[in-house]
Amino acid sequence: MIDLYAITGDQILAISSDWPELLFSGPDRVERETRTLVKRFHPDVGGSDDVFHRIMQLRDAGIELAQRGYWRTPGELRVTGDDGKTRIIRYHKAVDFGLGTAYIGVTKIAYAIHIDYADLAENASRTVGAFDFPSAEI
């Protein structure tokens, strides 16, 4: 969680406007935490216009995500399976690659493949599933 009293203007500017979850601690705290940040970074108290505007962009994006029910928790990937169950995959790093995004955790790697490449993912799954291993442990 970010310390709102220690974060710098440069750190705020480095947050992409489509990831307000990296600044705010939860969807129900966006307004309250925005007020805390505005007290520090408003141009009238010596803050930068750019930082103030980024805070407002992140606030607006955060409110919209919360209203739509799309708030993401950094480091968690929520996946709903064909069975209707939602699973949470915790990851340390997300890496974009040509076909989608790889989410790398301690013991698991999850791949989110763009729909345009679904046929390639299905073919890869069939191919790997057909591998013959010398023992169950492998």
Listed range (17-21, 68-72, 111-115) with the worst mean pLDDT: 68-72
Neighbours of 103 (CB within 10 A): 21
Indicate if the pLDDT at residue 71 is higher than 90: no
Residue 61 lies in a domain: yes
Asked which of 68, 88, 117 is the last residue of a domain, the reply is 68
Same domain membership, residue 110 and residue 60: no
Position 73 scores a pLDDT of 81
Residue 54 lies in a domain: yes
Same domain membership, residue 80 and residue 115: yes
Decide: 66 and 27 in contact? Cβ < 8 Å: yes
Best CA proximity match to 75, nearest among 36, 50, 103: 103
Average confidence score pLDDT of the chain:
90
> What contacts 54, CB < 8 A, 6 or more positions away?
12, 13, 15, 17
Asked which of 68, 93, 114 is the last residue of a domain, the reply is 68
Residue 135 lies in a domain: no
The domain of 118 spans: 76-129
Task: Note the pLDDT tens digit of each residue in 103-118.
Answer: 998 888 888 999 999 9
Decide: 57 and 65 in contact? Cβ < 8 Å: no
Residue 4 lies in a domain: no
**pLDDT cut 70: percent of the chain above it:** 99
Q: Per-residue pLDDT averaged across 82-106, rounded? A: 89
Position 18 scores a pLDDT of 87
Q: Are strands 109-113 and 100-104 parallel, antiparallel or unpaired?
A: antiparallel
Quote the radius of gyration of the chain (alpha carbons, Å).
20
Same domain membership, residue 64 and residue 99: no
Same domain membership, residue 14 and residue 48: yes
DSSP state of 97: E
Neighbours of 59 (CB within 10 A): 20
Count structural domains, the chain: 2
1 pLDDT band, cuts 50/70/90, is low
Same domain membership, residue 94 and residue 56: no
Position 60 scores a pLDDT of 97
Task: Note the pLDDT tens digit of each residue in 29-62.
Answer: 999 999 999 999 999 999 899 999 999 999 999 9
Residue 62 lies in a domain: yes
Handedness of CA 78, 80, 81, 84 (dihedral sign): positive
